[in-house]
A and B are shown apart, each in its own frame.
Chain A
Amino acid sequence: MSAKKSHKFYGHGIPRIKPEDLGGKLIVVEGADGSGRSTQIAELVNWLETSGRPTAQVGLKRSTLVSEELEKAQDGNVLSRTTLSLFYATDFADQLENIILPALKAGFIVLADRYIYTLMARDMVRGMDEKWLKNLYGIAPVPDAVFYLSVEPEELVQRNLSKNATLDYWESGMDLGLSRDVFDSFLKYQSAMQNAFKTMQKTYGFDIVDANRSANAVNKELRKKISSVIDAE
């Protein structure tokens, strides 16, 4: 990646970081648990590195600063909405400054296993103010491509159950009190999340990928699209 293409931030960005110093590529894969995100990213990393391109990876709840505390907070469901939201933003910012930005400066391809969109969608479904969220995440660089792996909620149920034999409390939106029944709550919450993503798609222009298909078919499509993003220099 010799030619450097500068990035933009959604808002104010990060103090003392010049967007024109950011080369590399930022590729985001979004989607619910069970949409195949991790499988796809592992395949993409394998493919990119084999073809000689350096990569870096980030995801939610992976920061040195707060991941441990976030995990505990989720287990106990002890934090209120704004607090949890800002805690996640801290987790994102820590990875942004320690991994994403240095990797982009060095011309790496950064693969993000979910990004600010999941965080925003979750909060929007919980009634948080969109303007507030946009300001908060104005620190995020605009990715070069965002793929949303779309899977029907009914299919997500099947995949989650066959993998974990249970539905996750948060991925079922149980904190929202949509239903006392986890199964019903999961379906309602996941369709609400999909709607939030569809609304955001108009603003952020995600590439919606039909992930009801086999992992191979999805990966082929992703590789093709990512190749054209990388070659577009």
Chain B
Amino acid sequence: MKTFAESNFPGRLIAVEGLDGSGKSTQIYLLKRWLEAEGIKVYFSEWNSSELVKSATSKGKKRELLTPTTFSLIHATDFADRYERHLVPLLRAGYIVLCDRYVFTAFARDVTRGCPAEWVRGNYSFACAPDLTMFFKADLEVSLNRILEGRPKLKFFEAGMDLGLSKDPYESFKIFQGRILDQYLAMSKEFNFVTMDANVNVEKQQVIVRKLVSEKIDLKKFKRKSPLPLPPSLVTDRDEKEELEDKAA
């Protein structure tokens, strides 16, 4: 699996991975804010899939039509859609793209569901590897507590209920997440994850994240050549000022 840099893309992709509740979304959001403030061409992939794929996926989930194989394939379709329509153009245009989860989420989840690892990886082999993957490793208990604190209603597939691990969704979710964590740990070396200790405080983590990113990526190459356009209010103010100056002259 070659990275975007190795595949001669002008852009770079940074991914965060980890269990829900590991704090990875907060970290990538703070990273985005920093890069924006630095005037870097950055895009945070929100994973907006096209309506068609979304419609099939939600139908499959709602009606519980999915098996491990079709679950894997429909998510691969969804990923391919976003990859080809969104990520590739941005990376060709020299953006730094931030992804909250990437192919490794699918690898961990689908293999836990019983799909052969080589099959899943092969299906995703059209995608380049991130230039930096940060894996947020929190204690399983900590992640579970964060998610389950408010006793949210867990969805069927989210809780891994299709695996028949337990009749209780909370129990099932716990076992399922534990297995996914095992998969992440097993992949960590192979895919060069940089493991982040998600148990330390948020601010300290962000310092480490920013340091890692600036070491790994030559950020000044990604600065916008032209500054971002000014907000409309400022533009009119300036025009009026110039007009006045012109008149004065």
Contact = CB atoms under 8 A, between A and B. Distances in A.
A78 to B, nearest CB: 7
Given A65-B70, A132-B122, A94 B65 contact: yes
Interface stretch (B20-28, B51-59, B185-193, B220-228): B51-59
Among B59, B77, B84, B126, max chain A CB count under 10 A is at B77
Interface in A54-105: 64-66, 68-69, 72-73, 78-83, 85-87, 89-90, 93-94, 96-97
Contacts of A52: none
B59 A136 contact: no
B8 interface: no
Contacts of A82: 80, 83-84, 126
A83 B88 CA distance: 13
Chain B contact-residue range equals 20 to 34
Interface residues of A, number: 33
A172 to B, nearest CB: 22
Contact of B74 (A11, A66, A85, A132): A66
B96 to A, nearest CB: 23
A14 interface: yes
A138 B122 CA distance: 11
Q: Is the interface of A mostly helix, strand, loop or mixed?
A: helix
Contacts, number: 94
Contacts of A16: 114
A15 B53 contact: no
A86 B77 contact: yes
A72 B51 CA distance: 11
B84 A83 contact: yes
A132 B70 contact: no
Contact of B52 (A69, A93, A139): A69
A82 B119 CA distance: 16
A225 interface: no
Contact of B118 (A80, A83, A93, A135): A135
Q: Is the interface of B mostly helix, strand, loop or mixed?
A: helix
Nearest to B85: A80
Given A12-B119, A90-B56, A83 B114 contact: no
B76 interface: yes
B84 A81 contact: yes
Contacts of B74: 65-66, 90
A86 B80 contact: yes
A65 B83 contact: no
A83 B81 contact: yes
B81 A89 contact: no
Contacts of B116: 12, 15
B114 A15 contact: yes
B115 A15 contact: yes
A14 B83 CA distance: 26
A96 B70 CA distance: 10
A152 B113 CA distance: 46
B84 A69 contact: no
Nearest to B125: A132
B81 A90 contact: no
A97 B50 contact: no
22 contacts: A14-B67, A14-B69, A15-B115, A16-B114, A64-B65, A79-B50, A79-B52, A79-B53, A83-B77, A83-B81, A83-B84, A83-B85, A85-B80, A86-B77, A86-B80, A89-B73, A90-B56, A90-B74, A97-B70, A129-B126, A132-B126, A135-B122
Interface of B: 50, 52-53, 55-56, 59-60, 65-70, 73-74, 76-77, 80-81, 83-85, 113-116, 118-119, 122-123, 125-126
7 shortest interchain CB distances as A-B pairs: A135-B122, A15-B114, A80-B84, A86-B77, A12-B116, A90-B73, A83-B80
